[in-house]
Structure 1
Amino acid sequence: MGEARDRKIRAAGAHDRLTAGFVAAGVDPTAFGFYDQAAFLAQEQRDGSYLEKYAEWVATRPVDAVYEAHVRATVPKLASLVAAALTADDMQGGCMTAFSMLTRMLDRLGVWSFGVIGSANLDVPHLDLRRCLHTIDVRDHPDAVLGHAWVCAPPFFIVDASLALQHWAGTPMAGFVPPVVLGDAATAPIVRPGVDDCVSADVRAIHAEAERRLDPNLHHRLEPRLAAFGGRFPAREILLGQLSVRYVPIAIRQTNEPLEMVNAGSGKGRPAITIWNDEVAPAFGL
């Protein structure tokens, strides 16, 4: 009990310091979507990691019972609606679109959130079945997006409405991945990622052949910020029946497009604003 209290005190102190820093920079942190404010963007141009301060602010923000109840009522409902819409549009591989939709819609629904990029590793142990979406991998083409994207909306550290749409059709993994993955501190405990959680087998093999050894710390060599970043945004594992998924954050992302522009003109699936107007807003009585 004392340790939990100490963690809350440390988080509150960090949150207060971040709030003071934003205010000093001319940012108003009381407004949802304040990462769009001109003062915030100006700071981000000077410091490429400034968005991480927003994510830390959200992650350390004190959560009272009323707000937590609002989040727990809102997030699962929204994630299910977005997952159903993306499935209906067959948005395979659409994790970037999904996280952009979710964060922009959560802003409108009064829930603080941020996007996360990282590796996602899926295992069905009794079948010796493993599939990985690694951020450190061999690119099929120069514009390939590696890894996976999901949302953090505390107390939900994992909000994933697109894991089931990562080209599993026709593979043994298809029957194990649910439409929505949600994980909080109770259901998705912190884990320490290993090299196989972060680096693909192909990349590990390339380095092993060149160096004539298997390096268990290769992920830290190839991603030097991983340890420090993981201290603030740790990896977590969630069990979903026979499936376990390990999520390893690598970077914070937030779309620079308003909801009206997310997936607009892509030619693949409906624009986010159409999904909002036709399905999400009516479901929430807006």
Structure 2
Amino acid sequence: MASLRKLKEIERDFSKKHIDISKVGFYDSVAFMREEHSNPSYLNNYAKYIHLKKYDSTYLSMVREKVPFIANLLFKELKKDGRLGACVDMSAILSRILEEEGIWNHMVFGSLSIDYPPESQLKGGHFWCVDYTKGATAAHAWLVVPPYQIVDLTIKLQPYSEGQNQYLPDILLSEDVKPYTPVAKDLINPKIIYDLQREGIKDVINHTLPQFKAFNSIFPAVSTVYSYSSLHYIPTSVSAPDAPFEQAVNLKLNGRYGYNIYVDIIKPALKEQGF
């Protein structure tokens, strides 16, 4: 009942602001962008709406068929191209492709911690939001595509140096997640934690990411497992593609931008499969 009340509250707010919620990707509407201009965190409401929205069984069956098919095609293009660390760009392009197919989704930025299986003899892997090389920013990006709580096409294709990718999936599509309580080392480079603690700062998360705890209460961290590797996804913000799909030039794989990949490769393949 609580989730239903929250959904109705969000829908009333959209209605009050004359935002049409009938179409996937309505964050692109003039009315929504007008509100977002005065309230930069307003995109959170789009993400919350997607989390709370009720989906019927026909829709969910369609998503479970289409999303893995599309994800595999896009992953093959990325692997063929050879680009590593393309999480933000790939998530943005996949988000747009899914919107074209009428599939609700939103982008997530955040940290990722990985516990590898003991036999790997690998230390835990971390994509820190707070690091020396980049300050406080997005360390990793993925999608929420109900019923999938995590859709990650780039987890394996990162610049690993110790063979970590052999313990990771090509594509992560996870409905089965568990709550995860993040600690400082999930978000912040331990060297920074050490330096801050030496300065007498005890709550290093609040010091470096002052909005995180409030955000985490709405968009909590989750864990999933792949072949004995535990993957902890810790959202720190939600995002959305910042250009119309046809104009997006953030990702070019094998000579094609994202929209051309969709038109030339994915859309014909979907048609061939009878989608």
- Cα-to-partner distance string for 1:192-218 (whole Å, 9 max, x where unaligned): 11111111122112213333x7x4x42
Could you state the TM-score of these two structures normalised by the residue count of structure 2? 0.91
SS at match of 1:59: helix
Match of 1:161 in 2: 153
Structure 2, unpaired ranges of 5+: none
Separation in structure 2 between the aligned mates of residue 165 and residue 135 of structure 1, nearest angstrom: 19
Structure 1 residue identity aligned to 2:218: R
Contact 1:117 1:150 in 2 (8 A): yes
Structure 1, unpaired ranges of 5+: 1-8
Match of 1:176 in 2: 167
Match of 1:250 in 2: 236
- Cα-to-partner distance string for 1:209-233 (whole Å, 9 max, x where unaligned): 333x7x4x42233222222211221
SS at match of 1:162: coil
Pick the aligned partner of 1:55 from 47, 61, 86. 47
Residue 189 of structure 1 pairs with residue 169 of structure 2: no
Residue 277 of structure 1 pairs with residue 263 of structure 2: yes
Structure 1 consecutive aligned stretches of length 4 or more whose deviation exceeds 4 Å: 264-269
Pick the aligned partner of 1:233 from 205, 208, 219. 219
The alignment yields a C-alpha RMSD, in angstroms, of 2.1
- Cα-to-partner distance string for 1:133-166 (whole Å, 9 max, x where unaligned): 11111125x8x96410000011111000111121
Contact 2:109 2:138 in 1 (8 A): no
Structure 1 residue identity aligned to 2:266: V
Closer/same/farther in 2, CA of residues 191 and 120 from structure 1, 3 Å limit: same
SS at match of 2:124: strand
Separation in structure 1 between the aligned mates of residue 250 and residue 192 of structure 2, nearest angstrom: 35
Residue 268 (structure 1) shift: 8.2
- Cα-to-partner distance string for 1:219-255 (whole Å, 9 max, x where unaligned): 2332222222112211011110121110000001001
Could you state the TM-score of these two structures normalised by the residue count of structure 1? 0.88
Separation in structure 2 between the aligned mates of residue 86 and residue 267 of structure 1, nearest angstrom: 6
**Larger displacement relative to structure 2 (238-247 or 221-230):** 221-230
Closer/same/farther in 2, CA of residues 267 and 279 from structure 1, 3 Å limit: closer
- Cα-to-partner distance string for 1:83-141 (whole Å, 9 max, x where unaligned): 1111111121111111111111111111100000000112214024222111111125x
**Larger displacement relative to structure 2 (172-181 or 264-273):** 264-273
Give the aligned length. 270
Closer/same/farther in 2, CA of residues 86 and 64 from structure 1, 3 Å limit: same
Residue 269 (structure 1) shift: 5.9
Match of 1:133 in 2: 127
SS at match of 1:27: coil
Separation in structure 1 between the aligned mates of residue 138 and residue 24 of structure 2, nearest angstrom: 29
Closer/same/farther in 2, CA of residues 250 and 154 from structure 1, 3 Å limit: same
